[in-house]
Structure 1
Amino acid sequence: MPDEAVQSRIEKTLSFVPLGHVVSYGLLADLCGLPGRARMMGKCLRELSVDCNWHRVLRSDGKIAFPAGSEKAEEQRQRLTAEGVVVKNYRVNMNEFGWTPDLHTILVELEY
């Protein structure tokens, strides 16, 4: 199980992703100070006990990581749609809905 410090970083970082936006596993890892650890982010999100906006995390190509049509994929699709994110064929346009934090957020708010 990932340590509590990593879990805390993920929760904190996801709290900054605005409603109606998404982030890739890779960018989430980078922002958490763990570059190259995109797969670790997926594992950590599965183990979090709180609802930390996990539905806002997608593969780098904008695709929902759960198998299309699965219960979790449908839940993620529904949550994103409720926030105004357009999901077509279990994929989101990352250019339109992808979150890019500003410099203040990166240097001040996400300081670990």
Structure 2
Amino acid sequence: MSKNQNFFERVYKVAKLIPHGRVTSYGAIATYLGAARSARMVGWAMNNSHSKNIPAHRVVNRIGLLTGKQHFDGTNLMQQLLENEGIVVFENQIQDFKTVFWNPINELLPEEDL
């Protein structure tokens, strides 16, 4: 397994922990994994996750913008998935972002689980 594949798998394990009705950011996942400057790499992992049953729609940028929406089938699928979970989105931005934000640092996992 390449270093990127291993990192992607670790990203997917964290993404699977994001609770229904909550979101996190690329940077929060990267920081949690000890790679704070790798938010873009988390984004690449999310782009490659569609066939893996990963809730990629719950990962947004640091201010709540749906920057990954072009990677979902359909024009508004990412927004629709979030709204189905009770998250309010207006003009491609999550409203009450601080309220629905989930920080993985609060869900400490044993290192061997990542």
Partner of 2:20: 19
Query: What is the count of residue pairs matched by the alignment?
Result: 110
TM-score (ref. length: structure 2): 0.80
1:90-105 to 2 correspondence within 5 Å? 90-92=92-94, 93-101=96-104, 103=106, 105=107
2:25 maps to amino acid: S
- Please say if residues 26 and 38 of structure 1, whose CA atoms lie closer than 8 Å, have aligned partners that are also in contact: yes
- Please say if residues 64 and 73 of structure 1, whose CA atoms lie closer than 8 Å, have aligned partners that are also in contact: no
Runs of 4 or more consecutive aligned structure 1 residues displaced over 4 Å after TM superposition: 70-73
Percent identity of paired positions between Structure 1 and Structure 2? 26
Q: Distance in 2 between matches of 1:2 and 1:15?
A: 20
1:89 maps to amino acid: E
Deviation at 1:74, TM superposition (A): 0.7
1:88 maps to amino acid: F
Let me know the Cα RMSD of the aligned residues: 2.6
Cα-to-partner distance string for 1:82-104 (whole Å, 9 max, x where unaligned): 0111111111132111012464x
Partner of 2:9: 8
Structure 2: unaligned runs, 5 residues or longer: none
TM-score (ref. length: structure 1): 0.82
- Please say if residues 82 and 88 of structure 2, whose CA atoms lie closer than 8 Å, have aligned partners that are also in contact: yes
Q: Distance in 2 between matches of 1:21 and 1:110?
A: 25
Deviation at 1:16, TM superposition (A): 1.0
2:54 maps to amino acid: C
Partner of 1:77: 79
Deviation at 1:67, TM superposition (A): 6.6
Partner of 1:86: 88
Deviation at 1:72, TM superposition (A): 5.3
- Please say if residues 43 and 68 of structure 2, whose CA atoms lie closer than 8 Å, have aligned partners that are also in contact: no
2:31 maps to amino acid: D
